[in-house]
Amino acid sequence: MTGDSDAGELVEGGGRRLGIASLVCAAVFAAVFGVMNLAKAPAVHMALGNWVAGACVALSLAVFAATRARLSPKRLRDLGLGYEVVGSFGIALAETLATYQPDRQVRGISWVCLWIALFPLLVPSTPGRTLAVAFTSALMGWFALHAAALLGVPLPAIGIVLYLIMPNFAAAALAVLFSRLIHRLGRDAHRARQLGSYQLIEPLGHGGMGEVWRARHRMLAQPAAIKLLSAEALGGKARSERIRKRFEREARATAMLSSPSTIRIYDFGRTEDGTLYYVMELLDGIDLETLVAEHGPVSPERAIFLLRQVCDSLAEAHASGLVHRDIKPANIYVCRLGTHYDRVKVLDFGLVALREDRSGEGTRLTADDHITGTPAYMAPETVTGDHAVDHRADIYALGCVAYWLVTGELVFEGDTAVKILYGHVERAPLAPSKKTKAILPLGFDELVLDCLRKDPAARPESAAGVADRLEAIDLGDPWNQRRAAAWWEGRAVVSRLPAPSRRKPRDTVVKA
């Protein structure tokens, strides 16, 4: 944190904690010296000790009063750190005067140790400032011994002096460790609360590309979801650069699309501590994988209604030279938007490639000499490398999604990723109608199997062409808003918002 963020921490409770601590300190001084006076402690300089204790009580009460005044956060912080140093001197001097006995110069560990070690919890500050103040406070034990000598208390031998003050420096080192921990936690908490113009509310999920938070615009009160990737998660320099490029490519690729079926990106950037983030619309809905897993396969007419919207998103992306490369049910959300039901949003363009990028960088942003993808939805050419991966890989994956929607099963099953990938490369898929009891409309099987052709050239030429064929399928009772509203209102659907790659078992890294 900077000094300003330290001040912000004081605003949120540091001043109150300092006030409480000063009252406790005053009470402890009064109680301890009251007991010592009643017990007639044998210290030769008890009277002087009482005066010092009284001064410490007065100082503590003054600090308490100051915390109740409307001081600026910076002044409160400086007051607290100054109180730590002066308080350390007062405690050490009072102990020396009140516990000195000519025949026993060695006493237990000073209360200054506890004071120094715990003070970072009262007044959070940067580790550097804590180091300076804590070690200055530790030196107060040495100054107190010499001040007591001026008042008539014999100065112990140097060995005894070192014995008495060394624990103070150990406490100072412990205070620095506490400060570093508090500094890190405070920085993370500050980031978790505020990011640019957005206030982060709660985490929604995390995955391979980062984590997602529910957020709200501070001025507009506009809800949003923020996807971010911390600097710590980036790893080494080479990996950091690769992930940064992938993250930025996802944000830029998504932001340039305007289809209502593509998730909207509001903002993108990097914070001062290196955290990458982008702000996207908050979705009220569930992904298609969860939809089928929890509610069963959808009707053919509903599947067509949803697939046509996915085609709209892909058609625009492909026309812009973008290939999604990770189309799967988990990356397609079906939502409620205002009075509209079953609105589709395609998201997570994390593996996006530019068709005109001939350098190969687009296929190398995930790991060195590896291609990341989801085996159950990977086109054969992605696995074998026999053909250039272009928009037709998305069409193949779209066929896999259609298969999942109406059957609740994958095109090719297998207990390992390799077996699933082998199916995509070598085996002929069964028609969807073979895996469901539902009656599929004429033309649906043929379209899905065309999307699943091994040869990219044999597949439909475009997502728009797939949409046209879907629209041409004769449906007795097409899916519409009335039916969609009845479905949503008749079920307690838990809202699932954009969270990156929650389902790891079906994701894998494949050797390029």
Catalytic residue numbers?
326
CA distance 47 to 26: 18
CA distance 4 to 74: 8
Token pair of 163 as six digits = 């014995």
Cα angle 91, 92, 93; round to 5: 95
Residues 271 and 200 sit within 8 Å (Cβ to Cβ): no
CA distance 488 to 466: 27
How far, in whole angstroms, is CA 287 from its chain's centroid?
21
Contacts of residue 260, Cβ cutoff 8 Å, sequence gap at least 6: 312, 343
Q: Give CA torsion, residues 155, 157, 161, 164, to 10 deg.
A: -100
SS3 call for 197: coil
- Nearest C-alpha neighbor of 362 from the set 335, 338, 337, 391: 391
Contacts of residue 65, Cβ cutoff 8 Å, sequence gap at least 6: none
Token pair of 318 as six digits = 């492909």
Cβ neighbour number for residue 358 with a 10 Å cutoff? 9
- Nearest C-alpha neighbor of 115 from the set 92, 132, 99, 131: 92
CA distance 66 to 79: 9
Token pair of 358 as six digits = 């001939």
CA distance 467 to 469: 5
